[in-house]
Structure 1
């Protein structure tokens, strides 16, 4: 192969190359010369960096996928795949890779986390990713099941929908295949909330929660579509005390939606009213915490028990 082929491979892989790949283009002597001369760095067993500087985040991803794949390419998964796919706000400190369930354990570079899986269906593979990674829907499910807490899992599902990385139609077949995934009921719930198709907040009946906690019933409960077309339950309103409660299925990370919300909140504040906001997951799973805050707001506004 020509030197141009090697240069192109290094360009595609952000300057990272495995020994197996290098020997397709160079002799062993030529590889050793590049390392001894300092042109290449030996980053990990059988993995080289074709420069002398510190590694960038993209280069760390390539090192991870080549090291975990034993010179070939393992798939990045979960939050690492989401970062490659353009999702904002995901953890880039640790790099997550998928390896075969029967793959012999080997030492990986610092900060690389390997997750064993029986197989990754071809429809869940994004082989054109740089580096190769799982498809958005599979990545989101894995990120949720690997999250540190249920709250983080629900938040990352909401963020994936809000950033338009996935739609409900993308998530359904992945969840059908992954029947034993950790936190599956929670993930299904979070998908329904973010997609706006389950009307879960209406089913939960905020007024019933208020009665259970011996709070006054809200005057009205109104569903509306936000600027991005998502269903949001707004104006759970305690009219005598001018207290609003908003329950969101998805969090807002886009500038336009963020400003629209800020403007709405400002309008409520200007009118001298109180606004409380809760994600749907918290209302469903921690209702006591939510009702305690609603109670405090009502008391501050003049309600007496």
Structure 2
């Protein structure tokens, strides 16, 4: 990557954060007590800690940075463990694809899953109503099903030519299903809040969750020469350069964030949750060395 390209990526990211009023966090530390509590909970559930430790650490980092505004500490721990499990599934689809393809059928017939960690996920699904209301719990559950389905689709169509120009909405369709963003957004909303206070912000919330990740992942993906990420796909579908696509997405996502803040002004607790999650989401990416954001000097 040339120094010019790196500088342009940095400038786009810096402008995005400025538009959102989010200061880039240079020092993000995990609460070791929270990490220990998540480990204890995962062990209580019978997780294979040797296999899941790396994924669980990712889940703990997300929960610690994005969900600390939630009053119920057990819900924060639940999110950390659930995210660790979802991350493990995402990272190891090829190994467990047969179990994921059978998941819904076994779930609906109340049969044991092919793999133990999927049975553990079923248990966590059953616990959703303990942490969120009916609508939120339902949406989190259906997000998980979309997430599994997206993984199956990707495996089936592997190698297919992505005809972005003729199917311009496909990148967004795929991104929305595969990202589990709906669940991550909804989990951040305090369950005691009335549905009327937050439901209309959900589309912008989901957009922010998906595409802040796309932007904050772009630098590391460019270093690796990836061509099938969301920004590369929308650049191809619109016939524009990737940096132009990045800038366009950054502006759109900043507008989503600002719009969401205005929409929630009448509900201070919902607004606080929204802002806390969005700021924490940047913090998570800053904390995780995989994203290499420290190299951009934001």
TM-score by length of 2: 0.24
Q: Which has the higher strand share?
A: 1
TM-score by length of 1: 0.24
Q: Which has the higher helix share?
A: 2
- Structure number with larger C-alpha Rg: 1
